[in-house]
Amino acid sequence: MALFPFSAIVGQDELKLALEIAVVDPGVGGVLVFGDRGTGKSTAVRALAGLLPKMKVVVGCEYQCDPTSDRAQCPSCRAMTGTPQVAEVSVPVVDLPLGATEDRVVGALDLEAALTRGERSFSPGLLARANRGFLYIDEVNLLPDHVVDLLLDVAASGENVVEREGISVRHPARFVLIGSGNPEEGELRPQLLDRFGLSLEVRTPGDLPTRVEVVKRRAAFERESGAFLEKWASAETALTTKLEDGRRRLREVQVPDAAIERAATLCIALGTDGLRGELTLVRAARAAAALEGELQVTDRHLARVAPLALRHRLRRNVLDEVGSTVRVERAMAEVFPP
Amino acid sequence: MTADALEAEARWCDAVTAIELLGVGPTQVGGVLVRGWPGPVRDRLLDWVRMVCLPPLVKVPVHITDDRLLGGLALAATLETGRVVLERGVLAQADGGVVLVPMAERLEANVVGHLCAALDRHELSLERDGFTGVTPCRIGVVALDEGIDDERAASALADRLGLHVDLQPLPPRSTPPLLPDVDKVRAARARLESTSVPDSLVTALCEAAVQLGVDSLRATVLAVAVARAHAALCGRAIANDDDAAMAARLVLGPRATRFPETEQAPAPPEPSDEPAPEQPPLPEDRADDQPPPDGDPDEGDLDAALTELVIAAARSAIPDGVLDLVTAGRSVQRGPRSAGRSGALKASTSGGRPSGTRAAVPQPGERLNVIETLRAAAPWQRLRRRAASSRVEVRRDDLRVTRFAQRTESLVIFCVDASGSAALQRLAEAKGAVEQVLGDCYVRRDHVALIAFRGTHADLLLPPTRSLVRVRRCLADLAGGGATPIAAGVDAALALALEARKRGRSPLVVMMTDGRANVGRDGTRGPAGQGDALASARSLRAHQVRSLFIDTAPRPRPQARELAREMGATYLPLPHLDPRVVSSQVQALTQAGP
Ligand SMILES: [Zn+2]
């Protein structure tokens, strides 16, 4: 099925920004998208696949190893002598369907080979296919806890270690985890929330013109996807270029001491626990600057990404009616007076 | 004809049209949500589905397992041949046809998830039992919602089914005034591809949706698809006002959460208890994307008239309850309950959720995990197999047993005294403790329910939910005042606790009151109140429902302590109450078993 073009998504600026940041700096630590039904959360995430820049991979490697890096390679690529054959492929966006069995997520004994040839070989799972790309879980709040724990562990360590059925495999699994869900159907444990880099809540647009535009585009896409994709092709190409430029520029972006201090002040004002929030805030601001074509992080970049990086790290007060976004905004108004 | 007969006739016509539209484009309209009990009326409707829709018609039983739904290793064949044989799941088999889901209100969350994924993507991606792949799955879904009271089909599924039909008001002997036209549907199916919906209709449907309080944009997209299918059904290449009106009636009306204004007025702002969302600016390319609005004044009037027509059509299909709630000054909860008594989060009742497997010989009551056992046996087949045998050799050491999470799910029932002007004040003082308990429930993923009692009776304000958002809202909205019917509160808590137990959850009642009852079980005020409260408390204990009694009085009195004792409750007086003590008590009580 054809994918709805990312640039044809009406509004949802924060969601788009979060995803673009994750493309520019995969190290930012994953994105969690919560929101009402029918807001097009999954449409936006899946649409990413159409934009992602190409990457170089070792031909024949099941883990899409990077030929230019010695680190983070799978055992067979490490053992390879001579120059590997190189191919260009799109950065993968792998969907983790609800009901995926654990063996398909982490990989397992190749049943076919075992049954027919009596061989004990490893059949890589979704984590292998997502290496160097994105792993998307819709309804992340409905996934069994042990699977979510496992995914977050692998996402944090960048390595998948499989010890089962007498198989012992260790392979690179660096990916950006993107989760989405509807909070009305069950919330995510706070321990898990904190492990996502960025989080946001999408809402159904309330104003009529925006709603009309969303429905028209959706209907046009569903009716004649070919013509629709053609119409948006140039916008998509422009966006891909912007993301490629951002990736290239990221390393050149300076983070002045003043910006780091600002980030710390904001985190203290909000009482976020630990250093994670601060670190993510600075990283995300740097990626935002790179996306804008700037070479230095400023207050504006910090302010733009602060809600994304911090709102899910506030100490939770279950009876407090004030939403976390409002709390971040209040703290920002104090730390960055207009 | 009487008004009732007219009403029945209109309902039958809607049902016929809905089934015809399903037959025209099942993947386009998503499907039909049918509310009503099993019986001759519903049977007739299902006969029509068989008659009008392209096969296959595949039924999904309510407790279907993932491997049957999605497909996976075909065990018998695999064992027989000694090689991996895969079996198609029910959903893949339904490609091109219709999936019938009886008892949709009881579907497990995973089944809902798979149906939704198929409806969204028209294909299934599978990662199961060593098999990876994508299979086409272009389906329409007919969901039969037999829920009583608050029970509803999961909102995720209902949202994706364009047509909502309510058969409940039809008497069992009622007969339809007309039948679906199979030839017309067949012709329309061929025409659908070339049928279009003009922008003016799209705008009118959007506006109608806003005025009716239909929040989900997916519903509006489906309304456009239904208008298109209806145009095709009527032989029109371009949809007109009638098609939009029918779409409003069948798609938007049943989803309405408020009554539109009668006067032609600009759409009121969305009622919202959250901070207003930032309005996203429209993208800059919007100008070249659509024709600029022309200045013809008639055009505007025409559009307004069209919207009015569309809303009028939807109005007649607004469910009865909506108006009552609107006049009572409340807006209806958006969409059907998603985590209600049988909602999307219905827990697996087979002794907790599976959490992996372990190597062991199954004991009585344990389940052999066949796939994992085969996996364990697989590597050794070459060595074990005797010459010319293709049997799979399974040894004792290969056996794997499904391991279930130890703890059954808990339901914490807050039973809150909202009587007297000071009750809420005292509740606010207990806030720290409530917060702690809620926080704990949240971390442990327990369900929480809220009962409040005041005046003459107790109300279930919040059926079991895992959504803290809703608990928080509900507590904040709590109204106080009136007499103190403790007996009613305890009875309501007991009823809910017993029901939870039937569903495999272990209940805990957290009672919050000062224990001074002055209303009896019969709702009359008087000294009988205290005696009745004690009697209710004893029956809670007799059913062995665990409980915690938080005495909210500023100066604790003996009545409360006595009540707690009769309930068999752990008694905690509020003054100097340490939230951590409450927390550890709740933890101890919920983990102690059923
Ligand atoms: Zn490799």
pLDDT of residue A262: 92
Could you tell me the distance, in angstroms and rounded to a whole number, from the CA of residue A171 to the centre of ligand 1? Answer: 8
A251-335 carries CATH number 1.10.8.80:
yes
By CB atoms closer than 10 A (0-12, 13-18, 19+), residue A188 is buried
CA B17 to CA B31: how far, in whole Å? 13
Q: Which domains does chain B have, with CATH numbers?
A: 3-176 (3.40.50.300), 195-283+300-320 (no CATH), 410-591 (3.40.50.410)
Q: Give which of B191, B218, B358, B394 to mutate to test A binding, by max A Cβ within 10 Å.
A: B218
Domain ranges for chain A, please list them.
Answer: 6-54+90-202, 251-335
Does the pTM of the predicted model rise above 0.80?
no
pLDDT of residue B201: 94
CA B159 to CA B166: how far, in whole Å? 15
B486 vs B592 pLDDT, higher one: B486
For residue A284, the distance in angstroms to the closest alpha carbon of chain B comes to 21
Length of chain A: 338
User: Does residue B250 have a pLDDT over 90?
Assistant: yes
Interface size A-B, in CB pairs within 8 Å, comes to 239
User: Does residue B353 have a pLDDT over 80?
Assistant: no
* Enzyme catalytic residues of A: 276
Query: Using the beta-carbon criterion (under 8 Å), do A108 and B130 form an inter-chain contact?
Result: yes
Query: Using the beta-carbon criterion (under 8 Å), do A318 and B439 form an inter-chain contact?
Result: yes
pLDDT of residue B339: 30
A280 contacts: CB under 8 Å, gap ≥ 6: A28, A29, A197, A198, A309
Regions of chain A short of the pLDDT cut 70: 1, 99, 184-187, 190-191, 273, 315-322
Query: Using the beta-carbon criterion (under 8 Å), do A97 and B117 form an inter-chain contact?
Result: yes
pLDDT of residue A134: 95
pLDDT of residue B277: 42
- What's the token pair of residue A169? 């495999």
Q: Which residues of B117-146 are buried (b: 16+ CB within 10 A; e: fewer)?
A: bbbbbebbbbbbbbbeeebebbbbbbbbbb
pLDDT of residue B521: 84
B365 vs A196 pLDDT, higher one: A196
By CA distance, what is A110's nearest residue in B? B130
Residue A299, beta-bridge partner list: none
User: Does residue B94 have a pLDDT over 90?
Assistant: yes
User: Does residue B549 have a pLDDT over 60?
Assistant: yes
pLDDT of residue B322: 56
pLDDT digits (tens, 9 = 90+) for B402-413: 765 444 678 889
Query: Using the beta-carbon criterion (under 8 Å), do A216 and B443 form an inter-chain contact?
Result: no
B378 contacts: CB under 8 Å, gap ≥ 6: A109, A111, A114, A115, A165, B392
B339 contact residues in A (CB cutoff 8 A):
184-186
Could you tell me the distance, in angstroms and rounded to a whole number, from the CA of residue B69 to the centre of ligand 1? Answer: 35
By CA distance, what is A218's nearest residue in B? B221
User: Does residue B352 have a pLDDT over 70?
Assistant: no
Using 50, 70 and 90 to split pLDDT, how confident is the model at B287?
very low
pLDDT of residue B501: 83
**Cα B456–B462–B465 angle (5° rounding)?**
155
pLDDT of residue B298: 52
pLDDT of residue B282: 42
Q: How many CB atoms lie within 10 A of CB A154?
A: 21
For residue B471, the distance in angstroms to the closest alpha carbon of chain A comes to 9
pLDDT of residue B388: 54
- What's the token pair of residue B238? 């371009």
Residue A199, beta-bridge partner list: A32
Out of A244-253, B5-14, B109-118, B352-361, least confident range = B352-361
Query: Using the beta-carbon criterion (under 8 Å), do A37 and B216 form an inter-chain contact?
Result: yes
Query: Using the beta-carbon criterion (under 8 Å), do B216 and A38 form an inter-chain contact?
Result: yes
Out of A306-310, B394-398, B405-409, B561-565, least confident range = B405-409
Using 50, 70 and 90 to split pLDDT, how confident is the model at B132?
low
pLDDT of residue B366: 67
A279 contacts: CB under 8 Å, gap ≥ 6: none
User: Does residue B386 have a pLDDT over 50?
Assistant: yes
CA B340 to CA B151: how far, in whole Å? 7
- What's the token pair of residue A93? 């966006």
- Give the largest CA-CA distance in chain B: 90
Residue of B132, B197, B275 lying closest to A323 (CB–CB): B275
By CA distance, what is A4's nearest residue in B? B121
Using 50, 70 and 90 to split pLDDT, how confident is the model at B52?
very high
* Lookup result for tokens 């046009």: A220
Using 50, 70 and 90 to split pLDDT, how confident is the model at B345?
very low
Residue B547, beta-bridge partner list: B509
pLDDT of residue B275: 44
Q: Give which of B290, B333, B375, B393 to mutate to test A binding, by max A Cβ within 10 Å.
A: B375
Q: What is the mean pLDDT of residues B343-355?
A: 37
Closest CA to B14 of B180, B210, B208: B180
By CB atoms closer than 10 A (0-12, 13-18, 19+), residue B540 is buried
CA B283 to CA A11: how far, in whole Å? 7
B84 contact residues in A (CB cutoff 8 A):
111-112, 115-116
Closest CA to A186 of B340, B583, B204, B118: B340
Torsion, Cα A139 A142 A146 A150, to 10 degrees, reads 0
pLDDT of residue B480: 80
A234 contacts: CB under 8 Å, gap ≥ 6: none
User: Does residue B255 have a pLDDT over 80?
Assistant: yes
pLDDT digits (tens, 9 = 90+) for B569-578: 888 887 766 7
For residue B14, the distance in angstroms to the closest alpha carbon of chain A comes to 24
CB A330 within 8 A of CB A318: no
pLDDT digits (tens, 9 = 90+) for B182-212: 999 999 999 999 999 999 999 999 999 998 8
Could you tell me the distance, in angstroms and rounded to a whole number, from the CA of residue A177 to the centre of ligand 1? Answer: 21
User: Does residue B330 have a pLDDT over 60?
Assistant: no
Closest CA to A179 of A160, A159, A193: A193
Crossing angle of helices A225-249/A276-291, nearest 10°?
110
**Cα A232–A237–A238 angle (5° rounding)?**
100
Query: Using the beta-carbon criterion (under 8 Å), do B217 and A40 form an inter-chain contact?
Result: yes
CB B223 within 8 A of CB B247: yes
Could you tell me the distance, in angstroms and rounded to a whole number, from the CA of residue A27 to the centre of ligand 1? Answer: 21
User: What's the topology of domain A6-54+90-202?
Assistant: Rossmann fold (3.40.50)
Across chain B, mean pLDDT equals: 78
B460 vs B354 pLDDT, higher one: B460
Query: Using the beta-carbon criterion (under 8 Å), do A38 and B335 form an inter-chain contact?
Result: no
pLDDT digits (tens, 9 = 90+) for A289-299: 999 999 999 99
For residue B280, the distance in angstroms to the closest alpha carbon of chain A comes to 5
